Amino acid sequence: MASGFEGDPREHILSAAARLFEQGGFAGTSTREIAAASGLTQGSIFHYFPTKADILAELLDRTTEPAMSYVAELRNLDVSTTERLCLLNYLDALALCSGPYNEAALMYLPEARAPMFDEYWRKRQVLVDSYLALIREGVESGDFAEEDPERLNTLVCALTESSVRWFDRARHEPRETAELVARTVLRIVLRDRVDTEAVVAATIAEYGHTFAGVVPATTVPPDPR
């Protein structure tokens, strides 16, 4: 490990790998490059992560963990289905856009479909099913459009995940982007025309503070070199 190294080595490794995977892909990034970028020796990398695939697995898991914690907390809130969907969608999009690097886009890497990452896709399906349960509830209550819930859910999830492709960390602000995604989703699912900007703003103002502590930090670990 380099002298003067500060912070958690695992976080330095993950931060460096996320940036390198985003720039050069999984196959195009070596553990030697990750070690150099994180200020560690290659042997130290293997002490924390036995393989490069283990690094990617950890990064992928981190893209679903925040939203899954939101699902659990939302169950304890006495709110309408519209407010629950709004909050889940806003917080999900906010988490996707809040990291210093675009970790969520790593799910689009071809290697992410390998069997070794099946656990990540299982967790992601749990999140998709949570969205579906809310949409079915809204359709049954008459609040949401009379559409096939599964088709509506596919559209909502695709729209939310698409933010990782067009969100520009140099130009866009995460909270404004998450609000835009939430407003767009409500325009799609709600049966009646409403002021979605007002609904999103009021819902976040009323309940957003409940989840303030689970939004990931947007800082990068200090450069150890």
Give the model's confidence band at 5: pLDDT under 50 very low, under 70 low, under 90 confident, else very high: low
Predicted confidence (pLDDT) at residue 183 exceeds the cutoff of 90: yes
Q: How confident is the prediction for the chain on average, in pLDDT?
A: 88
> Which of the listed ranges 13-22, 59-68, 71-80, 167-176 does the model predict with the highest average pLDDT?
13-22
- When pLDDT is averaged across residues 147-175 and rounded to a whole number, the result is 92
161 and 133, same structural domain? Answer: yes
DSSP string, 170-193: TT--HHHHHHHHHHHHHHHHBSS-
Residue 18 lies in a domain: yes
107 and 210, same structural domain? Answer: yes
Given this model, what pLDDT does residue 7 score? 75
181 and 98, same structural domain? Answer: yes
Residue 2 lies in a domain: no
Predicted confidence (pLDDT) at residue 1 exceeds the cutoff of 70: no
* Domain at 118, CATH number: 1.10.357.10
* Domain at 29, CATH number: 1.10.10.60
Residue 207, sorted as left (phi over 0), alpha (psi -120 to 50) or beta, turns out to be: alpha
Residue 13 lies in a domain: yes
Q: Which of 71, 94, 68 lies closest to 84, judged by CA? A: 71
Range of the domain at 24: 7-50
Total domains in the chain come to: 2
184 and 102, same structural domain? Answer: yes
The pTM for the full model equals 0.84
- When pLDDT is averaged across residues 161-170 and rounded to a whole number, the result is 89
